[in-house]
Amino acid sequence: MRLHVTDHPLIAHKLTVLRDKDTPSPVFRQLVEELVTLLAYEATREVRVQDVEIETPVAATIGTELAKPRPIVVPILRAGLGMLEGMTRLLPTAEVGFLGMIRDEVTLEAATYANRLPDSLAGRQCFVLDPMLATGGTLVMAIEYLLERGAHDVTAICLLAAPEGLHHLAESVGHRAEVKIVTAAVDEKLNEQGYIVPGLGDAGDRLYGVVD
Ligand code: URA
137-167 tens-digit pLDDT? 999 999 999 999 999 999 999 999 999 999 9
Does 142 reside within a domain?
yes
- Sign of the alpha-carbon torsion through 173, 44, 83, 151: negative
Does 207 reside within a domain?
no
Does 204 reside within a domain?
no
Does 134 reside within a domain?
yes
Nearest-atom index, ligand 1, CA of 196? 6
Residue range of the domain that includes 112: 2-51+64-199
Contact between residue 53 and residue 62 where contact means Cβ atoms under 8 Å apart:
yes
| Among 16, 17, 154, 128, residue whose Cα is nearest residue 74 | 128
- Cβ-based neighbours of 176, under 8 Å, separated by 6 or more: 147
First vs last C-alpha separation in the chain: 37
DSSP conformation letters of 52-104: EEEE-SS-EEEEEEEPSSPPEEEEEETGGGGGHHHHHHH-TTSEE-EEEEEE-
Domain count, the chain: 1
Centre of ligand 1 from the C-alpha of residue 196, in Å: 6
Q: Is residue 134 within 6 Å of ligand 1 at its C-beta? A: yes
Does 211 reside within a domain?
no
Question: What's 12's domain CATH number?
Answer: 3.40.50.2020
Centre of ligand 1 from the C-alpha of residue 134, in Å: 6
Residue to substitute in 193, 202, 206 for testing ligand 1 pocket (most ligand atoms within 8 angstroms of CB): 202
Does 115 reside within a domain?
yes
Residue 212, pLDDT score: 63
For ligand 1, atom 2: residue with the closest CA: 202
pTM of the model: 0.94
CA distances from 163 to 60, 135, 183 (A): 50, 9, 12
Kindly state the average pLDDT of the residues 83-99.
95
The answer to whether residue 112 scores a pLDDT higher than 90 is no
Residue to substitute in 195, 200, 208 for testing ligand 1 pocket (most ligand atoms within 8 angstroms of CB): 195
Does 59 reside within a domain?
no
Does 194 reside within a domain?
yes
Pairwise CA distance, residues 102 & 83, whole Å: 17
Report the relative pairing of strands 196-197 and 110-116 from DSSP bridges: unpaired
